[in-house]
């Protein structure tokens, strides 16, 4: 790896990992800084997916032959691994396509029986569209009201204001654990306690938190938690909904088909117990195996080590970009692996295009958070997000690329 002259190297280096060689999709000299959109995959995960589709492949929960039985065991072992990873029970883990499907599942299964006309749903300004649209659809369907908690000047959810907005009519609070734009981290235990005291349930969008911090559902105190596998070094098309067992068992199924039933006649249907009740049809078998491999890889590296690695790189990135004239940084100083920024009045798409020409990949757009963009007074931002394979050299390339942007645009 080419050493680049960054004074901040000396600050960050003691806490950094050296894992770039484990990521076949990240060639030397390419700075992939878009992990908040999707993480690159370590070789262990790629190998597990390939094996699942090759010599191990068979369906699950149906076959009586040996390979099917073995694959069923591996599938359910993955459920156990997810439960362990987030401090939960296996019968509380529902496999879904991603966090978007998880949130829609709650909105369409739990929502209609628990939220009605005159009730309220509380969100925040920084939510991803996936944690806005399903609730807007539910509110329109049943006649409920959406309330929106403000942000602090630093870009955190204003927790004092949010807690004050929870009323006896509030049936659900739904917020992001970590903002996908600002990297700000919500105090979930505090918000959960406030919601519980007022009889409201709390759903947490954990997409950006699951790859970045240790999770324990018991300690968090929420009622629902959703995350996607592809941001956690796993494959696309697989995600997790966790819900408290008593809530999950009381929820009706939201899709019908095979695997989610006990008995079917034309006159009557009896449904399987949760979580299988919510997993209609043939599941994403290789995706589940790949997610298990990703969790094993993360646990082998150590989540605390990954968190420290990202924190050091994020601090370095804020320091380097903040020193460039005309660059505006969004979000709090203690952002979790994510930094959105603007370069003067240059459109973020132009910024990202020029960075791409220099071998730096960042995201540009509204990041599925249009209400937050309006709050920030912009139509879009550029966003850099770090991951296990990144190094100070990647931050140096980003800073050098932004200097090129400034030169091109004068």
The 3 state secondary structure assigned to the chain is CCCCCCCCHHHHHHHCCCCHHHCCCCCCCCEECECCCCCCCCHHHHHHHHHHHCCCCCCCCCCCCHHHHHHHHHHHHHHHHHHHHHCCCHHHEEEECCHHHHHHHHHHHHHHHHCCCCCEEEEECCCCHHHCHHHHHHHHHHCCEEEEECECCCCCECHHHHHHHCCCCEEEEEEECECCCCCCECCHHHHHHHHHHCCCEEEEECCCCCCCCCCCHHHHCCCEEEEEHHHCCCCCCCEEEEECHHHHHHCCCCCCCCCCEEEECCCCEEECCCCHHHCCCCCCHHHHHHHHHHHHHHHHHCHHHHHHHHHHHHHHHHHHHHCCCCEEEECCCCCCCEEEEEECCCCHHHHHHHHHHCCEECEEECCCCHHHHHHHCCCCEEEEECCCCCCHHHHHHHHHHHHHHHHHHC
Does residue 368 carry a catalytic annotation? yes
Q: How many domains does the chain have?
A: 2
In this structure, the answer to whether residues 170 and 21 fall within a common structural domain is no
User: Which of 300, 316, 349 is a domain's end point?
Assistant: 300
> Which value, in Å, is the radius of gyration of the alpha carbons in the chain?
22
Which tokens in the block code for residue 63?
């076959």
* Per-residue pLDDT tens over the stretch 81-104: 999 999 999 999 999 999 999 999
pTM for this entry: 0.95
In this structure, the answer to whether residues 338 and 273 fall within a common structural domain is no
User: Which of 251, 277, 300 is a domain's end point?
Assistant: 300
In this structure, the answer to whether residues 306 and 277 fall within a common structural domain is no
User: Which of 266, 300, 334 is a domain's end point?
Assistant: 300
Does residue 38 form part of some domain?
A: no
| pLDDT at residue 72 greater than cutoff 60 | yes
* Per-residue pLDDT tens over the stretch 293-338: 999 999 999 999 999 999 999 999 999 999 999 999 999 999 999 9
* Per-residue pLDDT tens over the stretch 115-165: 999 999 999 999 999 999 999 999 999 999 999 999 999 999 999 999 999
Residue range 36-59: mean pLDDT, rounded: 98
Confidence of residue 63 (pLDDT cuts 50, 70, 90): confident
Range of the domain at 332: 9-32+302-409
Does residue 41 form part of some domain?
A: no
In this structure, the answer to whether residues 149 and 237 fall within a common structural domain is yes
* Per-residue pLDDT tens over the stretch 12-25: 444 799 999 999 99
Does residue 42 form part of some domain?
A: no
Does residue 215 form part of some domain?
A: yes
In this structure, the answer to whether residues 173 and 110 fall within a common structural domain is yes
Does residue 55 form part of some domain?
A: yes
In this structure, the answer to whether residues 24 and 61 fall within a common structural domain is no
* Per-residue pLDDT tens over the stretch 233-254: 999 999 999 999 999 999 999 9
What pLDDT shows up at residue 6?
A: 41
Does residue 364 form part of some domain?
A: yes
In this structure, the answer to whether residues 272 and 142 fall within a common structural domain is yes
CATH of the domain at 382: 3.90.1150.10
In this structure, the answer to whether residues 27 and 59 fall within a common structural domain is no
In this structure, the answer to whether residues 314 and 295 fall within a common structural domain is no
In this structure, the answer to whether residues 266 and 324 fall within a common structural domain is no
Does residue 1 form part of some domain?
A: no
* Per-residue pLDDT tens over the stretch 350-401: 999 999 999 999 999 999 999 999 999 999 999 999 999 999 999 999 999 9
In this structure, the answer to whether residues 327 and 190 fall within a common structural domain is no
Does residue 2 form part of some domain?
A: no
In this structure, the answer to whether residues 21 and 108 fall within a common structural domain is no
Q: One of 148, 324, 368, 400 is an active-site residue; which one?
A: 368
CATH of the domain at 249: 3.40.640.10
């Amino acid at each position: 790896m080419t050493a680049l002259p960054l004074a901040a190297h000396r600050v960050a280096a003691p806490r950094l990992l050296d894992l770039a060689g484990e990521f076949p999709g990240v060639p030397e000299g390419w700075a992939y800084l878009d992990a908040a959109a999707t993480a690159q995959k370590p070789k262990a995960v790629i190998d597990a997916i390939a094996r699942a589709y090759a010599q191990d492949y068979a369906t699950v929960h149906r076959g009586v032959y040996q390979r099917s039985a073995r694959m069923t065991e591996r599938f359910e072992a993955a459920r156990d691994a997810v439960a362990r990873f987030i401090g939960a029970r296996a019968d509380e883990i529902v496999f879904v396509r991603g966090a978007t499907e998880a949130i829609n599942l709650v909105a369409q299964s739990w929502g209609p029986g628990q939220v009605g006309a005159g009730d309220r749903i509380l969100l925040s300004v920084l939510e991803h569209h996936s944690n806005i649209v399903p609730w807007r659809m539910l509110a329109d369907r049943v006649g409920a009201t959406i309330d929106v908690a403000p942000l602090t000047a630093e870009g955190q959810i204003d927790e004092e204001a949010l807690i004050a907005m929870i009323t006896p009519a509030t049936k659900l609070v739904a917020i992001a654990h970590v903002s996908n734009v600002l990297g700000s981290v919500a105090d979930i235990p505090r918000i959960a306690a406030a919601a519980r005291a007022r009889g409201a349930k709390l759903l947490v969008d954990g997409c950006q938190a699951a790859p970045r911090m240790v999770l324990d559902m018991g300690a968090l105190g929420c009622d629902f938690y959703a995350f996607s596998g592809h941001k956690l070094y796993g494959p696309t098309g697989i995600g997790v909904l966790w819900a408290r067992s008593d809530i999950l068992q009381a929820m009706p199924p939201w899709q019908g088909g095979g695997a989610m039933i006990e008995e079917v006649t034309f006159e009557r249907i009896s449904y399987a117990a949760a979580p299988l009740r919510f997993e209609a049809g043939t599941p994403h078998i290789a995706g589940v195996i790949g997610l298990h491999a990703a969790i094993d890889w993360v646990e082998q590296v150590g989540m605390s080590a990954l968190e420290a690695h990202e924190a050091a790189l994020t601090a370095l990135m804020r320091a380097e970009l903040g020193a460039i004239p005309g660059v505006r940084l969004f979000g709090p100083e203690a952002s979790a692996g994510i930094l959105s920024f603007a370069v003067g009045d240059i459109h973020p798409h132009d910024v990202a295009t020029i960075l791409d020409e220099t071998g730096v990949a960042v995201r540009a757009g509204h990041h599925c958070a249009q209400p937050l963009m309006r709050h920030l007074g912009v139509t879009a931002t550029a966003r850099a997000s770090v991951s296990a394979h990144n190094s100070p050299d990647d931050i140096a390339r980003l800073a050098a690329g932004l200097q090129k942007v400034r030169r091109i645009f004068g």
